Structures are given as structure tokens and as C-alpha cells.
């Protein structure tokens, strides 16, 4: 739960910076994609992939929060970041496709969590995992 709270704080900071641009302008990245992955995306996806058998609304809320983070972080990575390779990666059509799968799987996980459907959560996690791995292989080999 502490990881989710820390991720939410980092994510909200990032979202505020992303939304601080004038209307019609592209969002300005507030951090590197690597920092986003480590502080926001990894804790959220680990939460989604770690589902077992939540029993309470509070336990399910952690999965709702994680899914929302994955959705918004997927939108954010499409804009690039402040890292040395981030804008090159973000301009690659494959990057955009990986981000779209991340967003779509996040939406599926959100719907599943709202319905408190563990099987659908597993399905969403199963869709999310392969493109995450493939993206790492293609854009940042050696990253676990």
C-alpha cells in the first residue's frame, strides 16, 4: 500500500507538470521515462500483477488506483521525457503501439477492478505483460 501511495504522489506531480502547458500545446515531460518507470509504472504494474483475492472495497481500491496510474502513465510516456533517449523512443511508431497496449490493458484492469472480477484482472495483466517485456527488449535492453 505504501508503494501505491508513493506512486500516486509521484504520478500526481508528473500529471500536474504535464497539464501545466497552455491549451493546444504538447505536454512538457517533467521527468525521464526511466524515472517514470521506476517511481510510477513499476509499482502500479506490480500491484496489478500481484492480485490474489481481494476481499474488501479498500483492497479493490488499490487495484483501481493502480489501473488508473497505468492508463495515465501510458498517455504520459507517449510524450517522451527528459532522458537522453526519451524523445527518440517516443517518436518511434513501435513505442506508440506499446503505449497503446499499456493504456488498453489498464482500461481493462480498471473495469475488472470496478467489477471486483479477479479473473478479468488476471486477463488484463496477461495482456499487459508481453508488450512491457517486448518494449524493454526493443528500447532499453538489459532492463529487468
Q: Is 115 exposed, middle or buried (CB count within 10 Å of its CB: 0-12, 13-18, 19+)?
A: exposed
Q: Is residue 26 part of a domain?
A: yes
Q: Is 43 exposed, middle or buried (CB count within 10 Å of its CB: 0-12, 13-18, 19+)?
A: buried
pLDDT-based confidence at residue 86 (cuts at 50, 70, 90)? very high
DSSP for residue 22: P
Q: Is residue 27 part of a domain?
A: yes
In total, how many domains does the chain have?
1
Q: Is residue 79 part of a domain?
A: yes
Tell me: pLDDT of 19 over 80: no
Which pLDDT belongs to residue 16? 46
Tell me: pLDDT of 3 over 70: no
Domain range enclosing 118: 2-139
pLDDT-based confidence at residue 143 (cuts at 50, 70, 90)? low
Percent of the chain with pLDDT over 70: 79
What's the average model confidence in pLDDT over 102-114?
A: 97
Which pLDDT belongs to residue 29? 72
Q: Is residue 59 part of a domain?
A: yes
Which pLDDT belongs to residue 30? 83
Amino acid at each position: 500500500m505504501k508503494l501505491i501511495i508513493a506512486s500516486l504522489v509521484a504520478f500526481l506531480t508528473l500529471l500536474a507538470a504535464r497539464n501545466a502547458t497552455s491549451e493546444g500545446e504538447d505536454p512538457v515531460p517533467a521527468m525521464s521515462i526511466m524515472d517514470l518507470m521506476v517511481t510510477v509504472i513499476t509499482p502500479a504494474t506490480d500491484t496489478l500483477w500481484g492480485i490474489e483475492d481481494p476481499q474488501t472495497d479498500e483492497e479493490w481500491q488499490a487495484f483501481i488506483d493502480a489501473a488508473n496510474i497505468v492508463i495515465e502513465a501510458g498517455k504520459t510516456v507517449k510524450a517522451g521525457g527528459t532522458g537522453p533517449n526519451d524523445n527518440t523512443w517516443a517518436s518511434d511508431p513501435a513505442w506508440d503501439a506499446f503505449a497503446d497496449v499499456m493504456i488498453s490493458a489498464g482500461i481493462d484492469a480498471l473495469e475488472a477492478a470496478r467489477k471486483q472480477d479477479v479473473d478479468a484482472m488476471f486477463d488484463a495483466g496477461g495482456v499487459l505483460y508481453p508488450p512491457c517485456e517486448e518494449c524493454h527488449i526493443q528500447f532499453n535492453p538489459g532492463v529487468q
